[in-house]
């Protein structure tokens, strides 16, 4: 059975995202999807959803959501907290990496994201219509999500009605573990378009994320990378999220989830899949460094990310919020093993 959530306040640039719109790049349709698929999967795991189920991606200020029909459970994934306001005025704080259940009339107010991006998952996933096999929002083409745009007041989001104990919530006390250090890349495919000095600077010097940043890509600022005699242009070929293009000004551009499908700038390197999610959390002014790895090392990094996520999911625990009676404990542990009728005298047992 389905339930319905109403958007009371849309937040800032909040969109519906899932695992991405795969299989349509040949006709110019970007992948889109969550900037950090691993964090999306962790938020969904708190609800028992599929890892790539559609959720709300929150880059800055969170939305306010109200359960209109059906009981709905939400999960907060990332450096963000919420406040559940019951239909009768009760207030309950919802920390990061916790679930909260909304009965019809209840509202959850989700605050600003302290760092990076966050995800708000809902029971069964956000069930907006599929478009080209995905529910992800691609705003440049008004595709997917809610009419191809960010959330706005009055929008309604269908999802699954909660199936299970509405008083039993889920949490993990720790945020998922992520790799740190330099962003790992595989050089190429056009690294021959750069001088040896440029390659050394790319791998040895820090860059900063500029204010020119969106879901399509981020421009970096730092030491200009000098092109070789082959020049600063190529015949347009395919690009993917993680590709690092370098135009004539020598300042790298890292492509992200909503990137175009082809481009004519040489690509000095490509970010490995295990580190793509880390890019989505960077904000203007953040420092970024790069390190070159082999394909085999990239594969091992992806395996390590999957193993870390599996361990984190294994650490999810259930709990009952303050004020909720644990009926299992009440009936299982707190009752004596017998009872007496009030009109019968008590006779102690004889040892």
| Mean pLDDT of all residues in 176-185 | 93
CA distance 24 to 7: 30
At 178 the pLDDT is 86
Residue range(s) defining the domain that contains residue 119: 2-172
Both structure tokens of 24: 């349509």
Is a pLDDT exceeding 60 seen at residue 341?
A: no
| Mean pLDDT of all residues in 43-71 | 97
Is a pLDDT exceeding 70 seen at residue 143?
A: yes
Is a pLDDT exceeding 60 seen at residue 348?
A: no
* Of 111, 145, 172, the domain-final residue: 172
At 91 the pLDDT is 94
- CATH code (residue 210): 2.40.100.10
Is a pLDDT exceeding 60 seen at residue 336?
A: no
Percent of the chain topping pLDDT 90: 88
**Residues 167 and 300 reside in one and the same domain:** no
Residue 325 neighbours by CB under 8 Å, 6+ apart: none
- Tens of pLDDT, residue by residue over 270-305, are 999 999 999 999 999 999 999 999 999 999 999 999
- Tens of pLDDT, residue by residue over 185-227, are 999 999 999 999 999 999 999 999 999 999 999 999 999 999 9
**Residues 233 and 132 reside in one and the same domain:** no
**DSSP per residue, 108-167:** EEE-B-SSS-EEEEETT---PPPBTTB---BGGGTBSTBTTB---TT-EEEEEPP-S-TT
Half-sphere exposure of 170 (CA within 13 A, CB side): 24
How many residues appear in the chain? Answer: 351
Structural domain includes residue 322? no
Q: Residue 129 — φ and ψ, nearest 5°?
A: -60, 145
- Tens of pLDDT, residue by residue over 245-265, are 999 999 999 999 999 999 999
DSSP class of residue 334 equals: S
At 350 the pLDDT is 46
At 334 the pLDDT is 52
C-alpha to C-alpha distances, 163 to 41, 47, 73, 74, 317, nearest whole angstrom: 20, 11, 10, 13, 18
**Residues 119 and 257 reside in one and the same domain:** no
Of 237-251, 305-319, 323-337, the least confident: 323-337
Is a pLDDT exceeding 90 seen at residue 326?
A: no
**Residues 156 and 16 reside in one and the same domain:** yes
CA distance 270 to 259: 13
Structural domain includes residue 107? yes
Of 30-34, 45-49, 174-178, 200-204, the least confident: 174-178
**Residues 156 and 208 reside in one and the same domain:** no
Question: Average pLDDT over the chain, rounded to whole?
Answer: 92
CA distance 89 to 18: 33
Domain count, the chain: 2
pLDDT band at 75 (very low <50, low <70, confident <90, very high): very high
At 177 the pLDDT is 86
Structural domain includes residue 117? yes
Higher-pLDDT residue of 228, 324: 228
At 325 the pLDDT is 53
Structural domain includes residue 315? no
Structural domain includes residue 103? yes
Is a pLDDT exceeding 80 seen at residue 349?
A: no
- Tens of pLDDT, residue by residue over 297-310, are 999 999 999 999 99
**Residues 82 and 230 reside in one and the same domain:** no
Structural domain includes residue 333? no
pLDDT band at 236 (very low <50, low <70, confident <90, very high): very high
Higher-pLDDT residue of 148, 178: 148
Structural domain includes residue 253? yes
């Amino acid at each position: 059975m389905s339930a319905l959530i109403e958007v009371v306040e849309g937040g800032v640039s909040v969109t519906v995202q899932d695992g991405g719109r795969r299989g349509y790049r040949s006709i110019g349709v970007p992948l889109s999807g969550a900037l950090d698929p691993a964090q999306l999967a962790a938020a969904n795991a708190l609800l028992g959803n599929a890892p790539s189920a559609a959720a709300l991606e929150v880059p800055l200020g969170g939305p306010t959501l109200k359960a209109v029909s059906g009981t709905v459970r939400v999960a907060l994934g990332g450096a963000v907290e919420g406040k559940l306001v019951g239909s009768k005025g009760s207030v309950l704080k919802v920390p990061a990496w916790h679930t909260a259940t909304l009965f019809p009339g209840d509202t959850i107010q989700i605050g600003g994201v302290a760092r990076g991006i966050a995800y708000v998952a809902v029971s069964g996933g956000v069930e907006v219509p599929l478009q080209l096999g995905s529910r992800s929002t691609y705003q440049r083409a008004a595709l997917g999500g809610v009419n191809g745009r960010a959330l706005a007041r009055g929008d309604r989001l269908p999802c699954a009605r909660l199936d299970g104990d509405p008083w039993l919530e889920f949490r993990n006390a720790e945020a998922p573990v992520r790799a740190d250090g330099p962003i790992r890349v595989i050089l190429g495919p056009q690294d021959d378009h750069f001088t040896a000095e440029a390659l050394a600077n790319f791998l040895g010097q820090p860059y900063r994320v500029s204010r020119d940043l969106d879901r399509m890509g981020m421009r970096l600022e730092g030491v200009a990378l000098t092109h070789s005699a082959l020049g600063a242009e190529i015949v347009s070929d395919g690009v993917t999220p993680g590709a690092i293009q370098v135009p004539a000004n020598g300042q790298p551009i890292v492509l992200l989830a909503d990137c175009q499908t082809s481009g004519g700038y040489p690509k000095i390197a490509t970010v490995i899949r295990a580190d793509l999610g880390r890019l989505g959390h960077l904000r203007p002014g953040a420092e970024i460094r790069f390190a070159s790895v082999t394909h085999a090392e990239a594969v091992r990094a992806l395996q390590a990310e999957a193993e870390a996520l599996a361990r984190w999911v294994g650490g999810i625990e259930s709990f009952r919020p303050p004020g909720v009676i644990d009926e299992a404990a009440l009936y299982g542990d707190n009752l004596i093993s017998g009872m007496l009728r009030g009109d019968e005298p008590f006779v102690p047992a004889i040892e």
